[in-house]
A and B are shown apart, each in its own frame.
Chain A
């Protein structure tokens, strides 16, 4: 044998790692998902929102969540602190000061953004969360095991958990009124009730055009940014605003890469670690074992030869 053990191991290691890295980068290039072409979305024209909170009422009404009479939603005191979505409210409207006009505060509706490549769905071990071709990220309570990885994975901290429900807790979040839009051909309840039509439901591709046109035609009223077009790889809810989004509580450090992509590199290494590495090491072990056996055998035969001159 002209090659020694160390050189052999080096070579194997180099081949193995290059092949793994190669596979990993290639995998991203190939599996990048541009999103379902006909997915729906909602455009939230933030300057048009008057903070009437009728969407909150309609959402609870639609999803059979504990609700109060619609008149009670006129109460503005709830805006004193920032609210978040929870198991009993899939959407909330928050108030932010308007740097341009003190008298007209800015209201922002917040709910699940229905990412094109949802982090929650990719984190889900049992595929209880699923991105549908219509755009909605839906939840199947029958398979959910309650691990709540989706809640940690979500870049917007949207999914909520029914902590008070000891026996059949569910993960709760906006459904984009999936049943309504697919079976009844309706539009989401929040969009339908919005009195100023600050919410527009339609094909996401169309909405981007609408948003672009609004921004172009009223440059003083809107900043040149459609939030959700690229954020976290694109979301079905799109937002246009008159002030920078970081002033309205939007996370602007989420990047434009889909969240699943961030973990994909690591996760493709896992099978390698679990399957290939033991096999390789096993192989080495067998190989060395075999060699040891061979030398042993050789030694015994030569000994025999020496003893039998």
Chain B
């Protein structure tokens, strides 16, 4: 009996000790841990009991890419890299601009190979000093920066000249000058000229011509470049040498960007016998007036929805319009005082605003518009 009690006491004290020790370990968390609160231990450590002496860190979290999509706007506009300032002035890195460019590729993960939800660690948090003499597997900050930048930059420019990013320090001048960032803030990717249309001759007997109205898709249909151009490399455009030969596309790859909107059921939408004209709204039976002509499709046919026939009633879109708020003179006809106070449907029967108004509701003397006008024409009728 005594023996059992003794063993029990020993076990109890041992487990108590274990709890204390484990608690202590948890207490002594490195400050780095706060940055990776969403990470599990095994995301970074290989062994079960990492210690300060042997943290048994994974060589590179790059391999187990953990990336949550973030928008370019979440990040800083500009990052000033001045940790390794030596021969050169600090590098002014247009973070937002680059983040936007990555939207055509893999997104943030192009550079941030470890970007969990919440705080995205900047390079310097993992890649410490210029060199990493402790862990030879991990590049230091210098290597990490240059590998990231040069990997893309040399791809298209074929240049590794320092001056692309670095401004050389002027000897004799004191280091760390205040960097003026105003001139680069808000610089986006320069405007890319959009081709008007592309005519493709294809190997399809029933419709050997495909006319792709590129400009219409961008300007009228309001598609973003990234909606079609995905997984592109910078060098596709930024190539100063000979253009790389592109691999032949399979029929599936050819159709891929189109079928996200167009169904594959009717080939004749794209495949025709001859070149087609661009889209005009008149084709739908409702030619647009001068105001509507300036709008983008998505202004009326709302974003994210399939484009369908809309109600032609003005207040279907212009819901705030009524007798008081609508300025009738924009139609080219300024109403006189009598007519101003009247309800729309008094003249526009059945709210058919696209048809001739009727006077018969009030006037039974047979007068017709526009011979007899309810005001003065300010300009030609639209």
Q: Is the CB of B160 within 8 A of A197?
A: no
Does A210 touch B at the CB level, under 8 Å? yes
What's the least CB distance linking B238 to chain A, in Å?
11
Interface-facing stretch out of B74-82, B147-155, B203-211, B301-309 = B147-155
Does B32 touch A at the CB level, under 8 Å? no
Q: Is the CB of B244 within 8 A of A103?
A: yes
Residues on B with beta carbons closer than 8 Å to the beta carbon of A197: 131, 139-140, 142-143, 146-147
Interface flags for A230-257 (1: CB within 8 Å of B; 0: not) read: 0000000000000000000000000000
Q: Tell me the complex Cα distance, A192–B154, Å.
A: 21
Q: Is the CB of A213 within 8 A of B150?
A: no
Partner of B150, one of A43, A196, A202, A217: A196
Residues on A with beta carbons closer than 8 Å to the beta carbon of B160: 50-52, 74
Which residues 127-143 of B have a CB within 8 angstroms of A? Answer: 131, 133, 136-137, 139-140, 142-143
Does B229 touch A at the CB level, under 8 Å? no
Task: From known contacts A187-B131, A197-B143, infer whether A213 and B59 are also in contact, taking CB-CB under 8 Å.
Answer: yes
What's the least CB distance linking A189 to chain B, in Å?
13
What's the least CB distance linking A147 to chain B, in Å?
39
Task: From known contacts A102-B244, A207-B136, A210-B137, infer whether A196 and B235 are also in contact, taking CB-CB under 8 Å.
Answer: no
Interface footprint category on B: 20 to 34
Interface flags for A181-200 (1: CB within 8 Å of B; 0: not) read: 00000010000101111001
Partner of B146, one of A51, A102, A104, A196: A196
Q: Tell me the complex Cα distance, A196–B139, Å.
A: 8
B137 (CB) vs chain A CBs: closest residue: A210
Q: Is the CB of A104 within 8 A of B155?
A: yes
Does B281 touch A at the CB level, under 8 Å? no
Q: Tell me the complex Cα distance, A117–B131, Å.
A: 30
Q: Is the CB of A202 within 8 A of B136?
A: yes
Does A206 touch B at the CB level, under 8 Å? yes
What's the least CB distance linking A224 to chain B, in Å?
17
What's the least CB distance linking A56 to chain B, in Å?
13
Q: Tell me the complex Cα distance, A48–B142, Å.
A: 13
Residue from B63, B140, B155, B160 whose CB has the most chain A CB atoms within 10 Å: B160
Q: Is the CB of B136 within 8 A of A196?
A: no
Does B282 touch A at the CB level, under 8 Å? no
Residues on B with beta carbons closer than 8 Å to the beta carbon of A71: 161-163
Which residues 96-114 of A have a CB within 8 angstroms of B? Answer: 102-104
Q: Tell me the complex Cα distance, A207–B90, Å.
A: 32
What's the least CB distance linking A237 to chain B, in Å?
15
Q: Is the CB of B59 within 8 A of A217?
A: yes
Q: Is the CB of B155 within 8 A of A103?
A: yes
Q: Is the CB of A103 within 8 A of B235?
A: yes
Partner of B60, one of A103, A195, A217: A217
Q: Tell me the complex Cα distance, A195–B142, Å.
A: 6
Q: Tell me the complex Cα distance, A202–B162, Å.
A: 27
Residues on B with beta carbons closer than 8 Å to the beta carbon of A192: 131
Does A291 touch B at the CB level, under 8 Å? no
Does A76 touch B at the CB level, under 8 Å? yes
Does B159 touch A at the CB level, under 8 Å? yes
Q: Tell me the complex Cα distance, A197–B147, Å.
A: 8
Q: Tell me the complex Cα distance, A206–B235, Å.
A: 37
What's the least CB distance linking A15 to chain B, in Å?
55
A202 (CB) vs chain B CBs: closest residue: B136
Does B119 touch A at the CB level, under 8 Å? no
Task: From known contacts A102-B244, A210-B136, A217-B63, infer whether A195 and B159 are also in contact, taking CB-CB under 8 Å.
Answer: no
Q: Tell me the complex Cα distance, A297–B159, Å.
A: 95
Does B158 touch A at the CB level, under 8 Å? yes
What's the least CB distance linking B43 to chain A, in Å?
16
Q: Is the CB of A50 within 8 A of B150?
A: yes
What's the least CB distance linking B10 to chain A, in Å?
42
What's the least CB distance linking A192 to chain B, in Å?
8
Residues on B with beta carbons closer than 8 Å to the beta carbon of A104: 154-155
Q: Tell me the complex Cα distance, A102–B235, Å.
A: 12
Residues on B with beta carbons closer than 8 Å to the beta carbon of A213: 59, 137
Residues on B with beta carbons closer than 8 Å to the beta carbon of A218: 63
Residues on B with beta carbons closer than 8 Å to the beta carbon of A195: 142-143, 146, 150
Q: Tell me the complex Cα distance, A218–B59, Å.
A: 12
Residue from A50, A103, A196, A206 whose CB has the most chain B CB atoms within 10 Å: A196
Residue from A50, A194, A207, A218 whose CB has the most chain B CB atoms within 10 Å: A50
What's the least CB distance linking B39 to chain A, in Å?
19
Residues on A with beta carbons closer than 8 Å to the beta carbon of B158: 76
Q: Tell me the complex Cα distance, A285–B160, Å.
A: 76
Would you list 14 pairs from A and B whose C-beta atoms are within 8 A, ordered by A residue?
A52-B150, A70-B162, A74-B159, A76-B158, A104-B155, A192-B131, A195-B142, A195-B146, A195-B150, A197-B146, A210-B136, A210-B137, A213-B59, A217-B63
Further contacts, 15 of them, CB under 8 A, given A50-B150, A217-B59: A50-B160, A51-B160, A52-B150, A74-B161, A76-B158, A104-B154, A187-B131, A192-B131, A195-B142, A196-B143, A196-B147, A196-B150, A197-B142, A206-B136, A217-B60
Residue positions of A touching B, CB distance < 8 A:
43, 48, 50-52, 70-71, 74, 76, 102-104, 187, 192, 194-197, 200, 202, 206-207, 210, 213-214, 217-218
Which 4 pairs of residues, A with B, have the shortest CB-CB distance? A197-B143, A52-B160, A195-B146, A74-B161
